[in-house]
A = this chain, B = another copy of it.
Amino acid sequence: MERTKKTIIVFSGDLDRALAAFIIANGAAAMGDEVTMFFTFWGLNILRKPEKVPVRKGFLEALFGRMMPRGAGKLGLSRMNFGGLGTAMMKHVMKKKCIASLPELIATAREQGVKLVACTMSMDVMGIREEELIDGLEFAGVATYLGEADEANVNLFI
């Protein structure tokens, strides 16, 4: 089978949509495809380090940063979140059924060489610095995305 390319824009920062994105990405990578994921807007939250990173920010940037979830372990479901209870239930069920968690899926994606790209313009808007995101990312803008999408045969927006 020939090696093809896939791109996924991860716009959403919801746990369920992030799971879907990584399951598709890892599946494609396992089948030998080249996969690039572009994290933009709320999707950037998936890539945040769980700990507070000391960086200089303006007031609004700091406020945005505090209000948004810090990393894959903190995301909630897009529906039935119920103040975190639904999300906890879902995680519990997934663990019991031996389905990989989001942090595990991210680790697998990195091992498989899925390219994780953070959108620099979104980082600027949201006041998120490189040091606040997990290691091993690339940083790029819409032109890079379009270049990759032109070479890919499947392009999704999640």
Q: Which residues of A contact B (CB under 8 A)?
A: 4, 9, 11, 13, 16-17, 20, 23-24, 27-28, 31, 33, 40-42, 60-61, 63-64, 67-68, 78-80, 89-90, 92-94, 97, 99, 121, 124-125, 127, 141-143, 145-146, 149-150, 152-158
- The oligomer's copy count stands at 3
Please measure, in the bound complex, the distance between the C-alpha atom of A60 and the C-alpha atom of B87, giving whole angstroms: 12
10 more A-B contacts (CB under 8 A) besides A4-B150, A60-B93, A157-B158?
Answer: A11-B17, A16-B41, A24-B145, A27-B145, A42-B78, A60-B92, A64-B89, A146-B154, A155-B156, A157-B157
Residues of B with C-beta under 8 A to A17: 11
Contact A42 B64 (CB under 8 A): no
Top 8 A-B residue pairs of the complex, sorted by shortest distance between their CB atoms: A27-B142, A156-B157, A149-B154, A154-B155, A157-B158, A16-B41, A28-B146, A27-B146
In the complex, which residue of chain B has the Cβ closest to the Cβ of A99?
B125
21 A-B pairs, CB-CB below 8 angstroms?
A13-B79, A20-B41, A23-B121, A27-B142, A31-B143, A60-B89, A61-B93, A63-B89, A64-B93, A67-B80, A93-B125, A93-B127, A97-B124, A97-B125, A146-B154, A149-B154, A150-B154, A152-B154, A156-B157, A157-B157, A157-B158
Contacts of A68 in B (CB 8 A): 80
Residues of B within 8 A of A23 (CB): 121, 142
CA distance A29 to B125 in the complex (A): 23
Known: A9-B156, A93-B61, A157-B157. A20 touches B40 (CB 8 A): yes
